């Protein structure tokens, strides 16, 4: 129960949470990355902690994408995949996360020669162990790395349709947004096929490009949520559509600063997104790479943007409502949030 003298940070710690936007490779802890880099010193990733910290200082999104791909290429066996899933589950469970949706880029694993069935088996086993060992439930989103074009669209779709893990719920696209027009038809076709197979459309959009990418997600991918979406504010018509349809935005403030999409946290558009009545959720994206956590993002919302406990609880409820959980599981977590916020 919340009491009047409970500091906002203690409230955040106690708040049951749902994470909707976190990447498998981007969730790898520093010790895990160092273990992998020392195991595969040919990968170009530093093998010492200080050097890795410097490696994680990004000039822009293209620089971040280069680093991300280098770390991803260290993940070379299904056992490595399972280790990352369980690490994410451990770290999120420690933050009072009840459920998370983990974005996996299976094409990256195909590129290093991992068989699709073996990756799926690792994902299935890790999801079961995450619940048994850490008490947290997870689901998977398969996303296309856009910079690899039509081949990545086909490979991601093939894995999602022919070898889906049991907990696969969604289909997305990430990476460099500016390359999408060159592969427009392949990406549209992949989303159409994934949706026909029963997967939710959960693409990134409007992070490093403008409203046109969000419109593409809505009009041609059938998007049910938008990853990031912060640049919607440049288009009042788009803002009105997002508000009227209550399309959830998966907002990741620290990520946007670390990849150079906004200059600093004080300049982040989160307050305006809320003022516009948009459906906002808070997320961590690639937490160790950005030196953040989901709890840290809630603290940013409180400390930088001045959100109080009611606003923070509202953001937590939004994440539950926007999730792919069924109605009964959503209600269970919402009831927990109500208990924590009750006077």
Catalytic positions, please? 207
Q: How far apart are CA 146 and CA 60, in angstroms?
A: 17
Q: How far apart are CA 88 and CA 151, in angstroms?
A: 28
Nearest by Cα to 18 from 310, 252, 323, 335? 323
Q: Report whether 205 contacts 143 (CB < 8 A).
A: no
Mark 97-108 as b/e (b = at least 16 C-beta within 10 Å): bbbbbbbbbbbb
Contacting residues for 53 by C-beta, under 8 A, at least 6 apart: 30
Structure tokens at 280: 């906002």
Q: Given the DSSP bridges, would you call strands 168-174 and 137-145 parallel, antiparallel or unpaired?
A: parallel
Query: What distances in angstroms separate CA 243 from CA 203, 208, 249, 313, one per listed residue?
Result: 18, 21, 10, 20
Q: Given the DSSP bridges, would you call strands 200-201 and 168-174 parallel, antiparallel or unpaired?
A: parallel
CA dihedral 324, 298, 280, 210 (to 10 degrees): -110
Query: What distances in angstroms separate CA 129 from CA 30, 89, 133, one per listed residue?
Result: 22, 9, 6
């Amino acid at each position: 129960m919340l009491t009047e003298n409970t500091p906002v940070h203690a409230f955040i710690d106690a708040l049951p949470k749902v994470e909707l936007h976190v990447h498998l490779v981007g969730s790898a802890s520093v010790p895990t990355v160092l273990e992998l880099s020392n195991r595969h010193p040919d990968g170009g990733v530093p093998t010492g902690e200080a050097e890795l910290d410097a490696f994680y200082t990004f000039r822009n999104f293209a620089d971040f994408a280069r680093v991300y791909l280098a770390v991803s290429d260290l993940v070379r066996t299904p056992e490595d995949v399972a280790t990352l899933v369980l690490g994410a589950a451990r770290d999120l469970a420690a933050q009072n996360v009840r459920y998370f949706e983990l974005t996996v880029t299976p094409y990256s694993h195909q590129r290093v020669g991992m068989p699709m069935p073996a990756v799926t088996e690792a994902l299935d086993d890790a999801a079961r162990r995450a619940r048994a060992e850490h008490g947290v439930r997870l689901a998977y989103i398969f996303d296309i790395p856009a910079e690899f074009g039509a081949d990545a669209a086909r490979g991601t779709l093939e894995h999602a349709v022919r070898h889906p893990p049991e907990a696969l719920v969604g289909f997305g696209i990430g990476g460099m947004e500016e390359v999408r027009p060159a592969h427009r038809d392949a990406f549209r076709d992949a989303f159409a096929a994934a949706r026909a197979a029963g997967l939710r459309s959960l693409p990134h959009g409007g992070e490093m490009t403008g409203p046109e990418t969000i419109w593409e997600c809505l009009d041609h991918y059938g998007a049910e949520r938008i990853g990031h979406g912060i640049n919607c504010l440049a288009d009042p018509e788009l803002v009105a559509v997002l508000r009227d349809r209550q399309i959830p935005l998966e907002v990741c403030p620290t990520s946007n600063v670390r990849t150079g999409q906004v200059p600093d946290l004080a300049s982040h558009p989160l307050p305006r997104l809320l003022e516009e009545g948009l459906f906002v959720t808070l997320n961590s994206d690639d937490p160790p790479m950005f030196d953040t956590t989901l709890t840290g993002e809630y603290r940013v919302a409180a400390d930088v943007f001045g959100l109080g406990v009611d606003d923070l609880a509202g953001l937590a409820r939004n994440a539950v409502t926007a999730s792919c959980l069924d109605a009964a599981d959503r209600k269970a977590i919402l009831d927990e949030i109500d208990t924590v916020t009750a006077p």
